Amino acid sequence: MGFKPVDVSGKFETIRTAKAEGKIYLSPESVQMIKENRVPKGDVLLASQMAGLLGTKRTADILPFCHNIMIDHVVVDTQLQEDGVYVTAEVKCVGRTGVEMEALTAVSAALLNVYDMLKAFDKNMIISDIKLVSKKGGKSDWAEDLSGLKCAVITLSDTCYKGEAEDRSGKTAIDIIENEFSGDVVHYKVLPDDKDMIVDELKSMTDKVDIIFTTGGTGFSQRDVTPEATKEVIRKEMIGFSEAMRIVGIKFTPKSLLSRGVCGILGDATLVVNLPGSTGGVKDNIRLVAPLLKHAIRMAKGEKKH
């Protein structure tokens, strides 16, 4: 079995913060030496703060699955207590992955530095209680799966409707919805690029399912009418979703700018999401917007707690 880091290329860049803490237990004599600044190597508390800062920046060099990230802010604090030195580290960055490992490494490096500076005088030091205190900004703060939601997948393609091509994008959507996000696909259909038929199908599913995912028909040809059909039936457009799908999609292919797909709300709280016709576009866009769809449904229903 091989090893590989997590691919974070499809994640949002957000402000990430983390705080960690730890302690090294010392003899009363060592505590007194630090208090009186009698340690030959110098100021233990200040040097350990610097070690923590360096540890933060070198995390990816010693932990193989940590990504190289741009650290925006670090605060390492060392406090002398009656039985040892207590260390905290707070780390912040704007990025696509969290900084909890950087915070934990900062604390570890600071505590190891205390050990190094006192090892000649204290043979019973114990490094302990290293733990993550808090983290914010990651997907876990806002992401939800699609469990408990009824979903529909509608593929819009003349060639698939005629049986001249296999519907790969619709089947890909179903696989991701059910197996990655635990949604329940209760309706699947292939239709031609016919605006009236698309409108009728969307209306027939309104308030019967929670989310309608369409694939295809978002391009520039005269037969690409999925966005027009969608706009005709939605009561509100979810502009942020469609904008994000195009903006984030640029990272994977500039062709994402060629999609005219829209997202919106039908009836009371049925969401419709226009996906491109390519399997790659379906994968990237579902993974992008799916974690926010439950939240969007609650908002559409006017629920105060969301």
Active site residues: 116
Measured between alpha carbons, how far is 249 from 131 in angstroms, rounded to an integer? 37
Residue 91, phi-psi category: left (phi > 0), alpha (psi -120 to 50), beta (remainder)? beta
| Residue 159: strand, helix, or coil | helix
Q: How many CB atoms lie within 10 A of CB 240?
A: 12
The dihedral built from the CA positions of residue 273, 277, 281 and 286, taken in this order, carries a sign that is positive
235 alpha carbon, distance to own chain's centre: 29
Reported in sequence order, the residue ranges of 144-298 that DSSP labels E, i.e. its strands, are 150-156, 184-191, 211-215, 236-237, 263-266, 270-275
Measured between alpha carbons, how far is 129 from 131 in angstroms, rounded to an integer? 6
Whole-angstrom CA distances from 238 to 33, 162, 187, 235, 271 are: 63, 32, 23, 10, 9
181 alpha carbon, distance to own chain's centre: 14
The residue assigned the tokens 């010693």 is: 62
Measured between alpha carbons, how far is 52 from 87 in angstroms, rounded to an integer? 9
How would you class 179 by CB atoms within 10 Å of its CB: exposed for 0-12, middle for 13-18, buried for 19 or more?
Answer: exposed
Orientation angle between helical segments 28-35 and 100-118, nearest 10 degrees: 100
